Amino acid sequence: MTHDQTANQPSQPQRSDAEWRAILADKNAEPVAFEVTRHAATERPFTGKYNRVWDDGSYHCICCGALLFDASTKFDAGCGWPSFSEAVPGAIREIVDRSHGMVRTETVCASCDAHLGHVFPDGPAPTGLRYCMNSASLDFEPKG
């Protein structure tokens, strides 16, 4: 099996809503985490626990633990959600999102399909990207 053949398929098994609720409860995820990750809800701006965190470390998928972002790529976009200029290669899958009368690029975890947020083309150099994420979708692991 080559990597290309699996590129568009989540590697994790499909789980029911009840299973995801139990997994998120086990991880002490935020109360909104289920709606955000499994039903593409958006946490209210400036409410997420990682919006103002600038410590060294790494950000993982709250659902499956996959590494998504290094903290060195996090920047202050002032938008009220944790923002990153670069994702770990292959960690994130992009989907065109035409909801709410806009065309945006949704981002999901490539491993388990958890909704993470959206990516916009207005970030800092060199990538020019802003991965606008929900804190509730992320699990921060401090360095060391």
Can you give the binding site for Zn ion, defined by CB under 5 A?
A: 61, 63-64, 66, 109, 111-112, 114
Q: Which residues pair with 104 in a beta bridge?
A: 97
Tokens of 68: 């998504």
Q: How far apart are CA 43 and CA 62, in angstroms?
A: 14
Q: Do the Cβ atoms of 30 and 107 come closer than 8 Å?
A: no
Q: How far is the CB of 77 from Zn ion (least distance, A)?
A: 23
Nearer to Zn ion by C-beta: 27 or 52?
27
Q: How far is the CB of 124 from Zn ion (least distance, A)?
A: 26
Peptide bond before residue 126 is cis, with ω within 30 degrees of 0 = yes
3-class secondary-structure state, position 38: helix
Q: How far is the CB of 126 from Zn ion (least distance, A)?
A: 26
10 φ, ψ to 5°? -60, 140
Nearer to Zn ion by C-beta: 46 or 95?
95
Catalytic residue among 61, 109, 112, 132: 132
Nearer to Zn ion by C-beta: 94 or 122?
94
Would you call 112 a catalytic residue per the annotation?
no
Please identify every residue annotated as catalytic: 132
